[in-house]
Every structure is written in C-alpha cells, then in structure tokens.
Amino acid sequence: MEVEVNRFMQGVLFALAGASLWGFSGGTAQFLFSNYETSSLFLTAVRMPCAALLLFLLVQWKRPGVIRKMLADRQTLRALFVFGMAGFFLSQATYLFTVDYTNAGTATILQQSSCVLIMLYSCVRSRRGPRPFELAALACAMIATFLIATGGDPSQLNLPLAGLLWGLANAITVAFYIIQPVDMMRTYGSMPVICCGMATGSMLAIPVFVLANLIGPMLGINPGWYSMPSLDGEGWLMLALFVLVGTFAAYALYMHGVSVVGSVVGSLLGCAEPVSASLFSVLWLGSAYTWADWTGLVLMLATVVFVTLPSKNPADNSR
C-alpha cells in the first residue's frame, strides 16, 4: 500500500512538473512572438520533430529495441498513428484556430474544459458518478484558469460561434491525447509512446508548414501564421529552450505522470499550465501579478490537495 501511495505522489509531481514547463513554453513562445515575429506554425513544425528526435535518442539509450517492437505490432502502430495525428497535431492546430477567432485567454479556458470531458468519460466507462474530491478539484481548476486567463474580468471573454466550435474541438482533441495513449504507456512506457506520437504528428506538421509557405502568399493568408523568422543568437537560444524544456521535457514529464495517476487526475493537474505561465510572465517578462493571479495560484494549490486525497487509498484512484 505504501509503495502504491508513493508511486501515486511521484506521478502527481511528474504531471505538475510537466504542466509547469508548458507554462515555460508559453513564456518562450511569447518572447519569440514579440521580438522575432515568429509564427505559430513554424514553432509547431520545429518543436515536434526535434522533440521526437531527442526522445528517440533517449529511448534508444535506455530501452533499445522497444520502439521496433511497438512498430512491429499492427494494432499498436495504428493506435500510434491516430495518437500522433488526432492527438498531438490536431490539439495544437485547433488551439491556434481558437486563439485566432477569440483570444489567448478564452482559448485557454475552452482548452481546460477537456477536464470535464475526461471526467465524464471516466465516469461513464466506470459506471459511477463523480467523486466529491474530483468535483472539488475540477471547480478549483476551472475557476483558477478563468481568473488567470481573464484577470477576473468576464468582459475579456470573446466567444463568437466559430471560436466556440474550434475551442470545443480543441478540448476534445486534448482529452483524446490524454486518454487514448494511457494503455499503450502502461505496456511500453510513456517515453516510447510520446516519441512515436510526436514523430507521427510531425508527418503532418512539417508538410503543412511547407505548403503554407508555398501557397500562403498566393491566397493572401496572414504571414504571421506561417512565416519563418529571422533569428539572432538570443532568438536561437530561446528556440532551443522552447524545444528542450518547453516541449521535450514538458511532454515527457507530464505524460509519464498521467500514465501513473490516470487521465482524470492528470487532466486536473494540467491546469497548472496557466498558473506557471503567469508566474514565468512575472518573473521573466516583468508582467504585473494581479489579485486574480494570486487567487488562481491558491486555487491551483487547492486542486493539488484535492487530487492527492485519494492517494491514501490507491485502490480508489480513478484511472
């Protein structure tokens, strides 16, 4: 029992660390957007194949042969293909479309509604109702996300129909990439699965980026979506940190945590991302920390407390 409790708490820490590094990813991306006119599509096309390569090298060093074994199994190969395309690539693409039709704060709130979808899925699959600690954690996480994303001002929300639909699509794809690979991760380990998922997603991200640069000018598409930036030494350093810390380390830590604590708890802990992004923005970019940020931070800490309550009885933990 004690071993299971310790493993659960380790999973919580891994998921929190990964989500926090996503916040760092947001800070580096904001720096690149502001100072180098970097496009979102460029960052997506760079981060996924580079992180996949780093994960591949790490997996080959730690567990040689496991990726070959995965790719040799047709059922696993199909699942990896779906995970990479529908999970990794579409979750990022739909988020960008949501931002375009709304704003970053609104898109973040809609994305975090994936917690609700994951909890509903878990309850239906387990044929049970939500547990009190899950509802309390969900409420804290959603309120924290709202406060940090809007500064506590509802007027900052922007919800045209197209933005709402893209936001819901984003929430569905985020829920999918948290739920779908859990069984594969328990069989093969989290890092090999993430590596193959990112590599598969890159098969879409890179051609889409190249195609956008070829036909974007002819169609009059805003170059801010697809252009390649001109980077100096500092720009390349930020891009390297974005890939190494904000993508490679963030996904590896977070998805490993999810494989341990389960999709419901993992999705709730993922709400640490906006808190982390806000902190990085204050410490690094000099933004002001408001009452809404502080309240969101306290609520996120409450979320962590609520999701760790079932660790006293691991048999009750939702997977």
pTM for the model? 0.82
Q: How far is CA 240 from the centre of its chain?
A: 18
- Check: CB of residue 240 under 8 Å from CB of residue 179: no
Interacting residues of 151 by C-beta distance below 8 A, sequence separation 6+:
105, 290, 292, 293
Interacting residues of 248 by C-beta distance below 8 A, sequence separation 6+:
50, 51, 54, 55
* Token reading at 306: 């609520």
- Check: CB of residue 303 under 8 Å from CB of residue 141: yes
Residue 93 backbone dihedrals phi, psi, to 5 degrees: -65, -45
Stretches where the chain sits below pLDDT 70 are 1-3, 100, 103-105, 158, 219-226, 281, 283-289, 310-319
Per-residue pLDDT tens digits for 133-151: 888 888 888 888 888 777 7
Angle between helices 132-150 and 291-308 (to 10 degrees): 160
pLDDT reported for residue 173: 92
pLDDT reported for residue 319: 45
- Check: CB of residue 85 under 8 Å from CB of residue 281: no
> Letter for the amino acid at 143?
I
Sign of CA dihedral 168, 170, 176, 182: negative
pLDDT reported for residue 313: 46
pLDDT reported for residue 278: 73
Interacting residues of 22 by C-beta distance below 8 A, sequence separation 6+:
246, 250, 254, 270, 273, 276, 277
Residues 25, 239, 227: CA angle, nearest 5 degrees: 100
pLDDT reported for residue 284: 67
pLDDT reported for residue 251: 87
Q: How many Cβ atoms sit within 10 Å of the Cβ of residue 198?
A: 28
pLDDT reported for residue 243: 92
* Token reading at 158: 């922007």
